[in-house]
Amino acid sequence: MKKATIFLFIGLFFLPVLLSCKNQETAMTDYSIEKLNIDKLADKYIYFGHQSVGKNILDGIAESGINIQISEITEIGDKNTGFIHSYIGENTNPLSKLEDFSETIKSINGEIDISIIKFCYIDFNENTDIQSLLSNYMKVFDQLHDDYPGILFVHMTIPLVEQQNGIKAFVKRILKRPIYGSTENLVRQDFNALLRENYANIFDLAAIESTRPDGTRLEHMLKGRKYYSLYPGYTDDGGHLNETGRRIVAYELLKYLSEMDTK
Identify the CA nearest to 96 among candidates 127, 57, 122, 70. 122
Alpha helices in 108-204 (DSSP H): 130-147, 166-175, 182-198
238-254: pLDDT as tens digits: 999 999 999 999 999 99
Name the class of domain 36-164+173-259: alpha beta
CA separation, residue 119 to residues 96, 213, 224 (Å): 10, 25, 27
Specify the range with the lowest mean pLDDT, choosing from 49-53, 70-74, 84-88, 120-124.
70-74
What average pLDDT does the segment 132-159 reach?
98
25-40: pLDDT as tens digits: 445 457 887 778 888 8
Question: Which run of H or E residues covers position 116?
Answer: strand 114-117
What are the beta bridge partners of residue 45? 82
Residue 232 has pLDDT above 50, yes or no: yes
pTM attached to this predicted model: 0.86
Domain regions of the chain by residue span: 36-164+173-259
